[in-house]
Amino acid sequence: MSWGTKIAFIYGGFVAFIIGMVTLCIKQDDIHLVSKEYYKEEIAYQEQINKLTNTQQLQGQMGFQYEGSKQMVEFFFPKSLLDTKGEILFFRPSDARKDVKIDIQMDENGRQVVPVANLDKGLWKVKVKWSSNDKEYFSEETLIIQ
């Protein structure tokens, strides 16, 4: 075999490899952005900073406690905010299709229990957005479901 034929085989193999890689990349279906409205959320980031500042200035903090044996998360809000409206987002960084939104429906003690047995085990970000008395609040914490 001459050197010209060898070079032709090398170039042909390279072209076949590139075509195969492009085809593989086009067929991938499991690529998900962190958020579908990423750019819109980035522009509104100052509002997010204001919500975080409002949350830090609260009398009594919002938080949650994970009970692994019962597969439940108990959220607690300051009692001064009983007229709260908002949502709890269980955000799965590795797969946006598994995100779960729940409306805030706390009891008279400022608590809400959310079952998490249907959520996959692993890392979750818990994002709570709520408003009360014409002020908006936001809290984000990490949760590891076992």
Residue 34 pLDDT exceeds 70 = no
Q: Residue 110: phi, psi to the nearest 5?
A: 80, 25
Q: Whole-model pTM? A: 0.69
Tell which wins on pLDDT, 132 or 22: 22
Mean pLDDT lowest among 1-5, 40-44, 68-72: 40-44
User: Which residue(s) pair with 89 in the sheet?
Assistant: 101, 127
Domain borders along the chain are 1-30, 38-145
* 94 in Cβ contact with 52 (< 8 Å): no
**Domain over 38-145 is classified CATH 1.10.340.30:** no
Tokens for 87, please give them: 């949502």
Q: What is the pLDDT of residue 12?
A: 95
pLDDT one-digit tens code per residue, 52-99: 888 888 777 788 889 888 899 999 887 777 677 889 999 988 887 888
pLDDT one-digit tens code per residue, 132-146: 888 888 888 999 988
Tallying the residues shown for the chain, one arrives at 146
**Residues 6 or more apart from 33 whose CB is under 8 A from it?**
96
3-state secondary structure of 30: coil
